[in-house]
Amino acid sequence: MLTPNQFEAELLTKSRIVSEQDGREACNIIHAAGPSKVVITSINVDGELLLIGSHQKEKGQPPEQFRIPIPKIPAYFTGTGDLMTALLLGWSNKYPDNLGKAAELSVSSVQALLVRTVEDYTRAGHDCQSSSLEIRLIQSQDNIRNPEIKYRAEMYN
């Protein structure tokens, strides 16, 4: 599995990603290099933040691709990319043939954790937009182990 963000996917594919279709094409280019599972963890397109996932179950076959719209949280965090990758790998191990479900669980965990982080910092009187926030991993264990799925994969036709 490869889990680049938009910038990393652009570097890997040597192409710009300015649309959802560009993101899907980037996944196809990455599949051609080997990985059967590709998740571009964050793409900013027309002011919308998206995750685009792609699972090529057999070489030579078209991949199953999906999108998950992700609400933007007005803060800057450290560690979210590493956390997303760890969760995707963990949930993909549990659901090896359902990358969409693994992504739903992962996005739902990360979003719940980020909301909790902002709430904790705000309660402490911190301006969440002034500096990078350290995510609240320990305090969010339940959201990581047993997330409520709030963000759904939307399959492309």
Q: pLDDT tens across 11-25, in order? A: 999 999 999 999 999
76: left (phi over 0), alpha (psi -120 to 50) or beta: beta
> Domain 6-155 carries which CATH code?
3.40.1190.20
Closest CA to 140 of 104, 116, 106, 108: 116
- Using CA atoms, how far apart are residues 122 and 128, in angstroms rounded to an integer? 7
* pLDDT of 3 above 90: yes
Pairing of strands 132-134, 154-155: unpaired
Q: pLDDT tens across 48-78, in order? A: 999 999 999 998 899 999 999 999 998 988 8
Q: pLDDT grade, residue 2 (50/70/90)?
A: very high
- Using CA atoms, how far apart are residues 99 and 125, in angstroms rounded to an integer? 39
Active site residue 82: yes
Residue of 46, 82, 97, 142 with catalytic role: 82
> What confidence score (pLDDT) does residue 41 get?
96
> What confidence score (pLDDT) does residue 32 get?
95
Q: Could you tell me which residue, 136 or 21, shows the higher pLDDT? A: 21
Q: pLDDT tens across 85-115, in order? A: 999 999 999 999 999 999 999 999 999 999 9
Question: Which residues are CB-neighbours of 95 under 8 A, at least 6 positions away?
Answer: 101, 102
> What confidence score (pLDDT) does residue 90 get?
97
